[in-house]
Structure 1
Amino acid sequence: MKISDEPAFVLHARAWRESSLLVEVLSANHGRIGMVARGVQSPNRQALRAALQPLQWLRLDLDWRGELARLIQAEAVDVAPRLSGDAVLSGFYLNELTMRLVPRGEPQPNLFLAYAQTRQRLADPEQSLAWTLRRFERDLLDAIGVGFPWHLDRDGEPLDPAARYVVDVEQGAIKVLTERTAEERRFSPSGRALLSLAADELPTEEDLQSLRIPMRVLLQHHLGARGLKSWDMQRLMRRGSKASGVRQ
């Protein structure tokens, strides 16, 4: 199958054989695609090699006849965002999560749009990184068919903003009926936090923090036993900060 002028974002690229790359992209009309970019590491193809960087927005011409497509041509649509600080790890997380959970060859137009918006937000220092990632996690889970109505409980009733909820992988939000310890509350976001996520409205800092662990639990379930390298990197960075006395 020939594919021409296909919009796509680069998720990952690694060396293959002497002068080629194996590249994963998220495309607008065909979902995640794995492809071989032959000879792009040779000196006379530096421009094409430079275009195959993670987060880069491209237009692709492909020949797709098996599991992997063959790259014919790629043209950069814009300049990939120049991330710094925590945004670098966030960009790595964005791509790793997409590669791990999105199957190849299934069209994901809504996720493609969500990825484009997230990519733009990561480059904006005025945007909350935590909120940017929670929104993308929500959109990804919805896109692959394992999300749920974020504004309703497991019985289909509207959430109580003042209540606490456990987010169950199969049933959705389950209201907590008894008082919980401080440790247990870390796993139980408020109804107000979940309603903010459903409405795509920036929550308070406390509510935003309460969403991180429940979303991590949901994602871990679908990832299986093997977690993400970006999570491991984040843990190492936090340990290093604590050891040096730096507060985050």
Structure 2
Amino acid sequence: MSNSQDPVAPDEILPDAAGSLFRRTPLGAAPAPAKQARPRVRGQRVDDVPAFLIHSYPYRETSLILDVFTRSHGRLALVAKGAKRPHSALRPVLIAFQRLSLSWSGAGEIKTLVRAEWFGAPQRLQGAAAMSGWYLNELLLRLLGRDDPHESLYDAYVEALSRLAAHPRLSGALRAFEWRLLCEIGYGFDPAATGADEPVRAGARYRVPLEAGPEQEEPEAPQSGTPITGESLLALAEGRFDDVAAEPELRRLLRERLDYHMNGRPMSTRQVLHDLRSFPPLRADARPPGGDAGGPAEPDPPHPGKIADR
């Protein structure tokens, strides 16, 4: 069984520069003595930034290191002091897929979380939608650098979570986010034109190399790249990610491109999904441990140690 399939809902059919200041010295004046190094300045506090928790792992006895995705500052690492204590006010707030408003301070690579609040209505993903959400989070961890804002990618993440929460069909939301991520980090291409600047035709067949755009397929000439029809390329160009006919080819195209830029390292969420599918189906009268009768308990997120940072 392939490990690259999406989570399936029960009723789903798969198809700046900083300026410089110069001080003028009057002619004939002696040069000013060299200034001593100024003391280190403490980091500026940042308040009320929209964000999502992408990942967390224990730090010392009572704290957590958070990997968060913010709209205005990109990915950040924050230490949440005391968040593991039983009565910490942060424990019920710091959950995945929930919009947050975060405040922090500090100048180092890891800032200190000062305040965290929910931003907007509660949002919860369950079952296959939750596994899809963890997949999106792992993509961000693997491919997005820290301290690099991507506001349109943040907005695409918000939209993807909303679609996962509202619709039983998951594949369209995943394909849309995968494509936006590739474009944001510089690995996209023009799906409506070939490298020779010829428009893609619906009835033709193409190949898309991993580091280039579409090339028309030549039957007698050896070519590398992902095979794909013109119809599917035009669906990608027009944002028709729910196109059932195009979805299988778009999935293969985007997954191969993502895997290439992750240096072929397997994704933990895909492996978890594969492991879950290896279990035999439950009988209707079976009661799984930790879950209600009639279905398995919601899967836990992948273990923190299994999701590697970039």
Given that residues 13 and 53 in structure 1 are in contact (C-alpha distance below 8 angstroms), is that contact kept between their aligned partners in structure 2?
no
- Counterpart position of 1:182: none
Q: Which residue of 62, 65, 87 maps to 2:107? A: 65
Using the TM superposition, give the Cα deviation of residue 64 of structure 1 relative to its aligned residue in structure 2, in angstroms.
3.2
Using the TM superposition, give the Cα deviation of residue 214 of structure 1 relative to its aligned residue in structure 2, in angstroms.
1.5
SS of the equivalent of 1:71 reads strand
Given that residues 235 and 243 in structure 2 are in contact (C-alpha distance below 8 angstroms), is that contact kept between their aligned partners in structure 1?
no
Given that residues 189 and 207 in structure 1 are in contact (C-alpha distance below 8 angstroms), is that contact kept between their aligned partners in structure 2?
no
Task: For 1:174 and 1:21, locate their aligned partners in 2 and report how far apart those are by CA, in whole Å.
Answer: 48
Cα offsets for 1:90-140 (capped at 9, x unmatched): 0110101011100000111111111111111110125x3111101000000
- Counterpart position of 1:148: 189
- Counterpart position of 1:136: 177
Q: Which residue of 51, 56, 68 maps to 1:13? A: 56
Q: Which residue of 193, 206, 230 maps to 2:245? A: 206
Using the TM superposition, give the Cα deviation of residue 224 of structure 1 relative to its aligned residue in structure 2, in angstroms.
1.1
**Are 2:41 and 1:2 aligned?**
no
SS of the equivalent of 1:206 reads coil
Task: For 2:87 and 2:93, locate their aligned partners in 1 and report how far apart those are by CA, in whole Å.
Answer: 14
Task: For 1:240 and 1:87, locate their aligned partners in 2 and report how far apart those are by CA, in whole Å.
Answer: 19
State, as a whole percentage, how many aligned pairs show the same letter.
Answer: 35
Q: Which has the higher contact order (CA 8 A, sep 6+)?
A: 2
AA in 2 matched with 1:41: K
Task: For 1:196 and 1:39, locate their aligned partners in 2 and report how far apart those are by CA, in whole Å.
Answer: 49
**Are 2:133 and 1:91 aligned?**
yes
Task: For 1:7 and 1:118, locate their aligned partners in 2 and report how far apart those are by CA, in whole Å.
Answer: 16
Q: Cα–Cα, structure 1 residues 135 and 59, in superposed 2: closer, same or farther, change >3 Å?
A: same
Given that residues 101 and 119 in structure 2 are in contact (C-alpha distance below 8 angstroms), is that contact kept between their aligned partners in structure 1?
yes
Task: For 2:160 and 2:50, locate their aligned partners in 1 and report how far apart those are by CA, in whole Å.
Answer: 16
User: Which stretch shows the higher mean deviation, 60-69 or 134-143?
Assistant: 60-69
Q: Cα–Cα, structure 1 residues 95 and 143, in superposed 2: closer, same or farther, change >3 Å?
A: same
Given that residues 55 and 80 in structure 1 are in contact (C-alpha distance below 8 angstroms), is that contact kept between their aligned partners in structure 2?
no
AA in 2 matched with 1:176: E
TM-score, normalisation: structure 2: 0.71
Q: Pairwise mapping of residues 1-248 of structure 1 onto structure 2 (< 5 A)?
A: 1-45=44-88, 47-126=89-168, 128-178=169-219, 187-240=226-279
- Whichever structure has more helix as a proportion of its residues is 1
Give aligned pairs, total: 236
Give the unaligned 5+ runs of structure 1.
180-186
Cα offsets for 1:145-204 (capped at 9, x unmatched): 11112222222322111222222121121222229xxxxxxx422221121122112453
Task: For 1:158 and 1:70, locate their aligned partners in 2 and report how far apart those are by CA, in whole Å.
Answer: 51
User: Which stretch shows the higher mean deviation, 140-149 or 233-242?
Assistant: 233-242
Q: Cα–Cα, structure 1 residues 193 and 119, in superposed 2: closer, same or farther, change >3 Å?
A: same
Using the TM superposition, give the Cα deviation of residue 225 of structure 1 relative to its aligned residue in structure 2, in angstroms.
3.4
Using the TM superposition, give the Cα deviation of residue 65 of structure 1 relative to its aligned residue in structure 2, in angstroms.
0.9
SS of the equivalent of 2:65 reads strand
TM-score, normalisation: structure 1: 0.87
Q: Cα–Cα, structure 1 residues 155 and 231, in superposed 2: closer, same or farther, change >3 Å?
A: farther
Task: For 1:95 and 1:75, locate their aligned partners in 2 and report how far apart those are by CA, in whole Å.
Answer: 20
Using the TM superposition, give the Cα deviation of residue 212 of structure 1 relative to its aligned residue in structure 2, in angstroms.
1.1
The CA RMSD measured in Å over matched residues stands at 2.3
Task: For 1:174 and 1:237, locate their aligned partners in 2 and report how far apart those are by CA, in whole Å.
Answer: 38
Task: For 1:209 and 1:238, locate their aligned partners in 2 and report how far apart those are by CA, in whole Å.
Answer: 20
- Counterpart position of 2:13: none
Task: For 1:132 and 1:32, locate their aligned partners in 2 and report how far apart those are by CA, in whole Å.
Answer: 21
